[in-house]
Amino acid sequence: MGWRDVIGAVLDATAAAPAPQARRTTAESHKAAAPASDARASLARPRPARPAPPEPERPAPERAWSAAVFDHIEWRRFEAVCEALFAQSGMRSASQSHGADGGVDIWLYSQHSDEPVIVQCKHWKKRVVGVKELREFYGVLKSHDLTYGTFATSSTFSSDALAFAKSNRINAQDREGLLRLIAGRSAEQQQALLDTAYEGEYWKPTCVKCGVKMVLREGKGSEWFWGCSNFAKTRCRSILKAAQVGTSAQI
Ligand SMILES: [Zn+2]
C-alpha cells in the first residue's frame, strides 16, 4: 500500500466518523440530561496512535523513454541521466553526487576543445525555469572564465529565460529537448539511459548535502516529510516536503 493510500484511508475513516454535532442533533432528547462531563471524557479519550511512516510510493518503471520517466525519478537520478546522455556524445564527464558544487553539476570535456562545458541540472516537475536561474548560471560560467554551458531541466523555460540563454551561448535543454536528444540515440544507448534513470531506489530523494537517501519522517502536523537518514549521526537537517517528491510533486 502506498503512503498516499494510507493517508487516504485515514481521511476516509475521519470522514466516515459521525461528527459530534450530528450525534447531538440525533440525540436531541438526551441533550439536557447528558452530563457535561461525558462530553469532556470523550474529548479527553487518548487519540489512536498514528501509523508508522508509510512506505513511499514506487512508480513502476517505464519500458521506453517518455516524460513520465522524469516524473518517476528523484533529482540525483535526473543528473545521472543528463551526465550519461552528454557522455554518449563522446564527451568525458565528471560530476559530484552531493555537497557544494558551485553551481556546476557536470563538467564535460571534449577532445576537440581545451575548454570544458559546464552543465547545471534542475529536476523540477512543474515550476518553470526563469531568467533568474539562467542569469545565475551565466554568473557561474563567467566565474570559471568559460564560454559554453548547458542548462538542463525536466521542466520548461520561460520565454525570457530562453531569450537570455540564446544571447549568452547557453544551451537550454528542457524536458522535450532532452527527450529529443534521447530519441536520437541508439536503442542500446536509450536502454542504458533508462537503466541509469531507474537505478537503485530511484523514487527516494537523495540528501543534497550528504548524498545518502532520505527517509520519511513524521512532522509536527499531519504531514510526513523527507529527512536525511544521517540526521542521528551528523545532525544533517536537510528536509523535503513529501509533496515535493514523486509523481505529485509541485515544484
Ligand atoms: Zn544529509
Q: How many angstroms is it from 232 CA to the middle of ligand 1?
A: 10
Of 89, 46, 105, 78, nearest to 245 by C-alpha is: 78
Cβ neighbourhood burial of 81 (10 Å; 0-12, 13-18, 19+) = buried
Same structural domain, 174 and 136? yes
Same structural domain, 164 and 100? yes
Same structural domain, 186 and 211? no
Dihedrals φ, ψ of 229, to 5°?
-75, -5
Q: How many angstroms is it from 182 CA to the middle of ligand 1?
A: 32
Q: How many angstroms is it from 224 CA to the middle of ligand 1?
A: 17
Same structural domain, 243 and 127? no
Q: How many angstroms is it from 237 CA to the middle of ligand 1?
A: 6
Q: Which residue has the cell 459530534?
A: 20
Three-point CA angle 106, 107, 108, nearest 5°: 115
The count of other CB atoms within 10 Å of the CB of residue 145 is: 7
Q: How many angstroms is it from 87 CA to the middle of ligand 1?
A: 28
pLDDT at 87: 96
Cell numbers at residue 170, please?
547557453
Q: Which of 197, 226, 242 is the last residue of a domain?
A: 197
Give me the number of domains the chain comprises.
2
Q: How many angstroms is it from 235 CA to the middle of ligand 1?
A: 8
Q: How many angstroms is it from 20 CA to the middle of ligand 1?
A: 44
Same structural domain, 104 and 189? yes
Same structural domain, 216 and 235? yes
Residue at 30 is within a domain: no
Q: Which residues form the domain of 87?
A: 67-197
Length of the chain: 251
Residue at 21 is within a domain: no
Same structural domain, 188 and 123? yes
Helix (H, G, I), strand (E, B) or coil at 70: helix
Residue at 226 is within a domain: yes
Q: How many angstroms is it from 98 CA to the middle of ligand 1?
A: 9
Same structural domain, 118 and 233? no
Q: How many angstroms is it from 75 CA to the middle of ligand 1?
A: 14
Residue at 233 is within a domain: yes
Q: How many angstroms is it from 114 CA to the middle of ligand 1?
A: 35
Q: How many angstroms is it from 91 CA to the middle of ligand 1?
A: 31
CA distances from 155 to 17, 99, 158 (A): 41, 23, 10
Q: Which of 179, 197, 215 is the last residue of a domain?
A: 197
Q: How many angstroms is it from 219 CA to the middle of ligand 1?
A: 17
CATH number for the domain harbouring residue 71: 3.40.1350.10
Q: How many angstroms is it from 148 CA to the middle of ligand 1?
A: 31
Angle at which helix 131-143 crosses helix 159-167, to 10 degrees, equals: 20
pLDDT at 47: 60
Same structural domain, 169 and 249? no
Q: Which of 197, 224, 241 is the last residue of a domain?
A: 197
Residue at 43 is within a domain: no
For residue 41, give the amino acid letter.
A
For the chain, 251 residues long, give each residue's pLDDT as a single digit of tens.
444 443 433 333 334 444 444 333 333 444 444 444 454 555 566 666 666 767 778 999 999 999 999 999 999 999 999 999 999 999 999 987 777 778 899 999 999 899 999 999 999 988 999 999 999 999 999 999 999 999 999 999 999 999 999 999 999 999 999 999 999 999 999 999 999 999 999 999 999 999 999 998 887 776 788 999 998 888 898 888 776 554 333 33
Residue at 242 is within a domain: yes
Residue at 27 is within a domain: no
Q: Which residue has the cell 454535532?
A: 21
Same structural domain, 188 and 232? no
Same structural domain, 178 and 224? no
What one-character-per-residue DSSP string does 108-172 give?
EE-TT-SS-EEEEEE--SSSPB-HHHHHHHHHHHHHTT-S-EEEEESS-B-HHHHHHHHHTTEEE
Residue at 62 is within a domain: no
Same structural domain, 181 and 247? no
Q: How many angstroms is it from 107 CA to the middle of ligand 1?
A: 23
Q: How many angstroms is it from 116 CA to the middle of ligand 1?
A: 30
- Give the list of residues 6+ apart from residue 53 with CB closer than 8 angstroms, or none: 3, 215, 216, 217, 218, 224
Q: Please state the pTM of the whole predicted model.
A: 0.76
Chain segment 5-47, per-residue pLDDT in tens: 434 333 333 344 444 443 333 334 444 444 444 545 555 666 6
Q: How many angstroms is it from 48 CA to the middle of ligand 1?
A: 32
Q: How many angstroms is it from 74 CA to the middle of ligand 1?
A: 15
